[in-house]
Structure 1
Amino acid sequence: MKLAIIFNGQGAHYEGMGLDFQAAYTEAKTEFDTAETVTDGMQIRQWIESDLDQFKATRNAQVAITATSLAIFNSIAPTLPAISFMAGLSLGEYTALMASGMLSKTEGYQLLKERGEIMSQHCEQLASSTPVQMLAVMNMPFDQIESLVNEINIEHPELYIANINSNQQVIIAGTETTTQVFKERAKELGYKKTMPLKVEGPFHSPLMSGTQASFATALEKVTFTQAEIPVISNTTVTPHNLATINELLVRHLVEPVKWRQTIDFLTEQGVTHLIQIGPGKTLAQLLKREKNAPACLVIDKVEDVADIQPFLNGGENE
């Protein structure tokens, strides 16, 4: 048995997420306390309990979702065997860096608060000048998506592949014009299943390049430490190291998230069991139709904790 921990990104939040862990585990309460304190009083738990609209803004969602995921992870960490790798989709990469100890909680939450603010400001500027959109494309082969994106870019620039989530799902980002053209041409080719995402901006695409300089400056204030548990980069699909982490996290803003390749890498490294931690079941659902993917257990609610030992002792995909 070889275990990896994976953390989800934005978009899977729901009312009450993580609060059952706070009620049951001191470690979870401490994590929420830390997040709210070091971000100068962001009302994370109040938003989770009664004001989910706050999470429409990246500036709030990033800290809150990371705090929830870490509250859950810290609650169950003492019961887990050795962890071989950590990884996270998009925002989840930062959760993994903090969970592994490569990024301290204090500096991590402060960095995420600043990153969220930088991204939100940029998205607001884009919205006022160039309406943008992210579009999930389902069940269309990657090479055809890539070819169609390149073809459309010749006539209508600014369409990009943003997330390679699985063999069945790829996310593209662009202007509303270019994503609509993609949708129409994909339909002509027989691929009708696309879905606009409810996100603030065109994340992981060159349309976010205006955030890079400010975020590079923010990273200069942060000290990373080499951790015992390797954290896989969304950008290179290799373990992060101190020499390149700043550069890769800046590139992470504008380059595709290679999640499908990350799962392939973990499988090649002999990982047999994945535990997805955080709100929702997004990552586990992406794995369901992937051939030869490791077994995956979601820990989202306190009641899920009872499944950990049976899962590690045999377990199959949830």
Structure 2
Amino acid sequence: MGISWRDRSPAAAKVIETADRLLQDQLHRPLSEYIFNNTDAATLSRTDIAQPAIFVTSMACWAGITDLRILQHDQLAVTAGLSLGEYTALTVAGAISFEDALRLVTLRGRAMQDAAEASDGGMVALIGADEATANDVVQATRENDILVAANFNAPGQVVLSGASAAIDRAASYAADEKKLRVAKLDVAGAFHSPLMEPAAERLAQALESTEINLPSVPVLSNVTGAPHEMGSVRHLLVSQLTSSVRWADCCNYIRQTYPDASWTELAPGRTLTGIMRKIDRKIKVQNLAEAPVEAEA
């Protein structure tokens, strides 16, 4: 992921080189090797590897956007990102430096991996469920285990997170009683649930020494679905690890507040472009998973 940006944009390549230098003592090998050298899926999907890899690829793409004259920074109106992507959104808006954000993202990934390995948890997507239906499934199947609605991504796409036994009960109940399509997610643990509390505590300590600047444009919070307010960034980034991700609310806020805005998704992948089709098919998203072939620095 991100190869086209590295190859076509010197600015993007510099972002990746800088990340390799900053993380040289924290990973078993350079981050760029994980990203570009056909790393096996099991290794790259580990959240302690995936989080810095995705963040750096997104930031390389952002650097390449200006380098290749695709979008100027002064055209930016608002930024948002789903879960990990909120760090990209804050960095793009100037609230956190690239160096600090990379440090936080790397710690966040490691802390979440550790919390996942220390608990028995998972996640399941309920296809066709609204918020009320998802909450009904949680209430009916939680029993004495941890189980929460963790992601409200789009109408008809809600993800539950919690203890594995509760996830199994919820999946069966949702399919049999609510007639929903269910899909267990291939993730390390129960993200955005109380099982991530140990990771939240470690992140809170790291954020205490992180400089947070006033962003150049509004940045949406996953926890509230609204822009960060002065002084809210540290608290809400910590809360995000154990709270529901309200991505649909973030997108709806932007739709209503900036009705004429153009939408752009940074690399890697097309996940948010696909989710937008479920939120509002009339909105066209410029997806930059790959650098345009005709682009030249």
Equivalent residue letter for 2:225 = V
Counterpart of 1:88 in structure 2 is 81
- Structure 1 residue runs of 5 or longer lacking an equivalent are 1-16, 307-318
Shift of 1:292: 6.5
Question: Which residue, 18, 35, 44 being the options, matches 2:31?
Answer: 44
Equivalent residue letter for 2:227 = P
2:199 aligned with 1:176, yes or no? no
Structure 1 CA distance, aligned partners of 2:38 and 2:176? 44
Counterpart of 1:201 in structure 2 is 189
Question: Which residue, 35, 43, 46 being the options, matches 1:57?
Answer: 46
* 3-state SS of 1:95 partner: helix
Shift of 1:302: 1.7
Identity of matched residues, %: 27
CA contact (8 A) 1:138 1:168 kept: yes
* 3-state SS of 1:157 partner: coil
CA contact (8 A) 1:298 1:304 kept: no
Structure 1 CA distance, aligned partners of 2:250 and 2:257? 11
Q: Which structure ranks higher in relative contact order (CA pairs < 8 Å, sequence separation ≥ 6)?
A: 1
Shift of 1:142: 2.2
Question: Which residue, 236, 240, 243 being the options, matches 1:248?
Answer: 236
Counterpart of 1:275 in structure 2 is 264
Counterpart of 2:277 in structure 1 is 288
Shift of 1:300: 0.6
CA contact (8 A) 1:135 1:197 kept: yes
Structure 2 CA distance, aligned partners of 1:178 and 1:261? 26
Deviation digits for residues 215-247 of structure 1 (CA, Å, limit 9, x no counterpart): 111111210111212111001122224412111
Counterpart of 2:16 in structure 1 is 32
Instruction: Within 5 Å, give how 1:97-246 maps onto structure 2.
Output: 97-126=90-119, 131-153=120-142, 155-246=143-234
Counterpart of 2:6 in structure 1 is 22
Large movers: runs of 4+ above 6 Å: none
Equivalent residue letter for 1:46 = E
Aligned length: 285
- Structure 2 residue runs of 5 or longer lacking an equivalent are none
Deviation digits for residues 65-109 of structure 1 (CA, Å, limit 9, x no counterpart): 000011111111343251110000000001111111111011111
Structure 1 CA distance, aligned partners of 2:292 and 2:101? 28
* 3-state SS of 2:279 partner: coil
1:22–1:75 CA distance, 2 compared to 1 (3 A): same
TM-score for the superposition, normalised by structure 1: 0.85
Shift of 1:177: 1.2
Structure 1 CA distance, aligned partners of 2:131 and 2:115? 29
Structure 2 CA distance, aligned partners of 1:20 and 1:304? 8
1:290–1:114 CA distance, 2 compared to 1 (3 A): closer
- Deviates most, 161-170 or 181-190: 181-190
Structure 2 CA distance, aligned partners of 1:287 and 1:26? 31
CA contact (8 A) 2:96 2:213 kept: yes
- Deviates most, 272-281 or 162-171: 272-281
Equivalent residue letter for 2:32 = R
CA contact (8 A) 2:81 2:89 kept: yes
Q: CA RMSD in A?
A: 1.8
TM-score for the superposition, normalised by structure 2: 0.90
Counterpart of 2:287 in structure 1 is 298
CA contact (8 A) 2:277 2:283 kept: no
Structure 2 CA distance, aligned partners of 1:221 and 1:304? 41
